[in-house]
Amino acid sequence: MSESTSTDSTRASEIRPRPETASVIIFGASGDLTARKLMPALFDLWNDGYLSDQAPIIGVARREKTDESFRQEIFEAMKGQFRDGVISPDQWERFSRRLFYRQLDIAMPDGYPGFKQQLESIEHQQGTGHNRIVYMATSPDLFLPAIEHLGFANMIPDHDEPQWLRVVFEKPFGHDLQSSRELSDNLRRLLREDQIYRIDHYLGKETVQNILLFRFGNSIFEPLLNRNHVDHVQITVAESQGLERGRGGYYDHSGAMRDVLQNHVLQLLCLIAMEPPALFNSNDLHEEKLKVLKTLSGGNPGGIANWVVSGQYGAGTVDGNPAISYVSEDRIPQDSRTDTYVAMKVKINNWRWEGVPFYLRTGKRMKSRVSEIAIQFKLPPLNLFNTVECDGNMCELVGARPNKLVFRIQPSESIKLSFSTKRPGMQYQIHPVTMDFDYKTFTQPLPEAYERLLLEVLRGDSTLFMRSDELDAAWQFVTPILDFWSQSETVPEPYPSGSWGPVAADDLLRNDGRSWRSPTV
Ligand code: BG6
């Protein structure tokens, strides 16, 4: 499918105001996230003209480093990760000039007054004001102390001051409902909600944003997205990789439910299921997403075990390579009961979706890396046509296949609609075809999620971030499941690395006369 009009030259900067200049301060700058995601995103923002030439980027962490060694370290880590794949020495020279490093024990208050002075001197030297973004790329136990210390050092401006401070919090934001509420309450004493940006990087992905435009910018699909036409919906966030280096400590306390389902998967669910907002603004969008989360419940009667399945990967083969089991990974105890996979059947108790099951799944070490939302429509009421389909020597007469609308989020972004046509010939034989919209038809490179989200913070727009009541509602849904697992000492069902998950997850759908998709990549 090709575009009907060229949008290549339409850049966001031409239709939305350019962001103000601000210092970007990364707490926890020695971590993986800074080198892998944040710095490439900041580089691309600068390269695209969204980040001013003056804006300093200050890495803050406990280790001793000089500005020069920090720049060198970032360069080494970033090589090959730039969106366009190449960076000239001149570009790097011009970009890296604004990189600074400040050694600080983030947990201790003593260093903050000195840090403030250093920061002001950098801002003076760069000729910028004191607008600041603080990106909390630290472990979550440092969130509150860091903000308290910023407050004591007089680094949190009031509403009526000309300069602003916006703080971005990486997930996990809380470990369960109670800890997330405590964190929110404590932060609220120090920061206003409009200063808090809780990041969920899925909301920065291009196809994820396109879901809203596709649904509410077209008139032909939206009337079909309800209980009258939709049979069921499947949301998959599958990864083929296992634990990344150094993540074992975090992940074993988190698991797939907290790490991905509570945030990325539920956000996808909200976007595909929400009602149209009255206006396309942050508040209205958050309100509609919140309504979805509040009406969410288990998809089968009876206890949680009837609609939730947890799994843990064993050894296996992924992409032709041998893969070790979860409990053999670095820093994972042999008797770990952490879920590396979770699947569930849920329902949304509202007028639109009554009776439509939503099947959600996410896991590590699965067959392929693929994230998608697949909407399966009901079959036509009468099966007037059929065709002969053969698999080897086995042939059977099959009728129409259900129409499917699939939003592929990764690895290659696309939207596909499958429907039936007539097979050419003298008989009325049915033939399934797919209509594709592939993002490759746009020639401009897609912005990375972090690039988009950092730009929104610079602009002061929190539409693509989690509001505190949304987060609360997501935890309210997920926490009883976590409590049930821990009280019942649930042992996740093993599944081989490189498979599509445990057998019990297949049964969840088989019992409904359905099956999971095996997405091809
Ligand atoms: C992160 C999780 O939020 O999302 C990781 O902490 C996971 O465990 C990652 O690998 C998946 O993101 P993406 O963009 O690669 O699908």
As a whole number of angstroms, the distance between CA 363 and CA 340 comes to 6
Distance of CA 98 to the CA centre of its chain: 29
- At residue 22, the pLDDT reads 95
Centre of ligand 1 from the C-alpha of residue 374, in Å: 20
Strands (E), 334-449: 341-348, 358-363, 370-377, 387-391, 394-398, 404-410, 414-422, 430-438
Say which residue the tokens 């009468």 belong to: 382
- At residue 6, the pLDDT reads 37
Of 123 and 425, the structure prediction assigns the larger pLDDT to 123
Helices (H), 394-502: 449-459, 468-487
Report phi then psi at 163, rounded to 5.
-90, 155
For residue range 110-153, list pLDDT tens digits in order. Answer: 999 999 999 999 999 999 999 999 999 999 999 999 999 999 99
Name the β-bridge partners of 406: 374, 416
C-beta of 448 in contact with ligand 1 (< 6 A): no
CB 24 within 8 A of CB 133: yes
The CA R_g of the chain, rounded to the nearest whole Å, is: 25
Centre of ligand 1 from the C-alpha of residue 200, in Å: 10
C-beta of 260 in contact with ligand 1 (< 6 A): yes
Centre of ligand 1 from the C-alpha of residue 369, in Å: 11
| Nearest atom within ligand 1 for CA of residue 371 | 16
As a whole number of angstroms, the distance between CA 74 and CA 186 comes to 33
CB 47 within 8 A of CB 86: no
The protein residue whose alpha carbon is closest to atom 2 in ligand 1 is: 259
C-beta of 170 in contact with ligand 1 (< 6 A): no
CB 5 within 8 A of CB 44: no
For residue range 245-256, list pLDDT tens digits in order. Answer: 888 889 999 999
CB 358 within 8 A of CB 269: yes
Say if residue 18's pLDDT is above 90: no
Centre of ligand 1 from the C-alpha of residue 2, in Å: 31
CB 292 within 8 A of CB 353: no
Give SS3 for 507.
helix
As a whole number of angstroms, the distance between CA 1 and CA 164 comes to 45
C-beta of 259 in contact with ligand 1 (< 6 A): yes
C-beta of 199 in contact with ligand 1 (< 6 A): no
Tokens linked to 61: 């962490």
Active-site residues, by number, are: 264
The protein residue whose alpha carbon is closest to atom 7 in ligand 1 is: 260
Mutation choice for ligand 1 from 38, 206, 260, 408, CB with most ligand atoms inside 8 A: 260
- Specify burial of residue 134 (Cβ count, 10 A radius: 0-12, 13-18, 19+): buried
Amino acid present at 199:
I
Give SS3 for 6.
coil
The protein residue whose alpha carbon is closest to atom 4 in ligand 1 is: 260
C-beta of 371 in contact with ligand 1 (< 6 A): yes
For residue range 185-212, list pLDDT tens digits in order. Answer: 999 999 999 999 999 999 999 999 999 9
